[in-house]
Structure 1
Amino acid sequence: MNIQKITFGNGCFWCTEAIFETVKGVKSVASGYMGGLTKNPTYKEICQGNTGHAEVLHIEFDADVLSFDELLLIFFKTHNPTTLNRQGNDVGTQYRSAIFYYTDEQKQQAEALIKKLTDEHIYDKPIVTEITPASEFYKAEDYHQGYFNNNPGNPYCAAVIQPKLHKFVKEFTEKIKPELL
Structure 2
Amino acid sequence: MTNEERTMIQIGLGGGCHWCTEAVFQSLKGVSRVEQGWISAREATDYAEAVIVHFNPGIITLDALLEIHLRTHSCTSEHFLRRKYRSAVYTYTGPQRQEAEALLLDLSHEFGKPVITRVMSYSSFKENTEEFRQYYYKDPEKPFCKTYIDPKLRMLLKKFNKLVDTRKLSSLDIKN
TM-score normalised by L of structure 1: 0.82
Counterpart Cα distance in 2 of 1:75 and 1:13? 12
- Aligned-pair CA distance for 1:151: 2.5
Please tell me whether the aligned partners of residues 85 and 92 of structure 1 are also in contact (alpha carbons under 8 angstroms).
Answer: yes
The residue number in structure 2 matching 1:126 is: 114
**Structure 1 residues 116 and 36, CA gap change in structure 2 (3 angstroms):** closer
Q: 2:75 aligns with which of 76, 81, 84?
A: 81
How many aligned positions are there?
162
- Aligned-pair CA distance for 1:57: 0.6
- Aligned-pair CA distance for 1:70: 1.7
Give the alignment of 1:147-158 within 5 angstroms.
147-158=135-146
**For each residue in 1:9-61, what CA deviation from the matched residue of structure 2 results, as whole angstroms up to 9, or x when unmatched?**
12101111111101000000011111179xxxxxxxxxxxxx82110011111
Counterpart Cα distance in 1 of 2:91 and 2:41? 15
TM-score normalised by L of structure 2: 0.84
In structure 1, give the amino acid aligned to 2:118: E
Counterpart Cα distance in 2 of 1:70 and 1:76? 10
The residue number in structure 1 matching 2:15 is: 10
The residue number in structure 2 matching 1:116 is: 106
The residue number in structure 2 matching 1:23 is: 28
- Aligned-pair CA distance for 1:137: 0.9
In structure 1, give the amino acid aligned to 2:22: E
Please tell me whether the aligned partners of residues 26 and 34 of structure 2 are also in contact (alpha carbons under 8 angstroms).
Answer: yes
- Aligned-pair CA distance for 1:178: 4.4
**Regions of 4+ moved over 4 Å:** none
Please tell me whether the aligned partners of residues 11 and 92 of structure 2 are also in contact (alpha carbons under 8 angstroms).
Answer: yes
In structure 2, give the amino acid aligned to 1:59: V
Please tell me whether the aligned partners of residues 52 and 94 of structure 1 are also in contact (alpha carbons under 8 angstroms).
Answer: no
Please tell me whether the aligned partners of residues 7 and 101 of structure 1 are also in contact (alpha carbons under 8 angstroms).
Answer: yes
**For each residue in 1:101-142, what CA deviation from the matched residue of structure 2 results, as whole angstroms up to 9, or x when unmatched?**
011122112211222133xx3122211112111111110111
Residue 123 of structure 2 aligns to a residue whose secondary structure is: coil
Residue 120 of structure 2 aligns to a residue whose secondary structure is: strand
The residue number in structure 1 matching 2:124 is: 136
Counterpart Cα distance in 1 of 2:151 and 2:51? 20
Contiguous gaps of at least 5 residues in structure 2: 171-176
The alignment's C-alpha RMSD in Å is: 1.9
The residue number in structure 1 matching 2:61 is: 67
Aligned-residue identity in percent: 34
Contiguous gaps of at least 5 residues in structure 1: 38-50
**Structure 1 residues 82 and 146, CA gap change in structure 2 (3 angstroms):** same
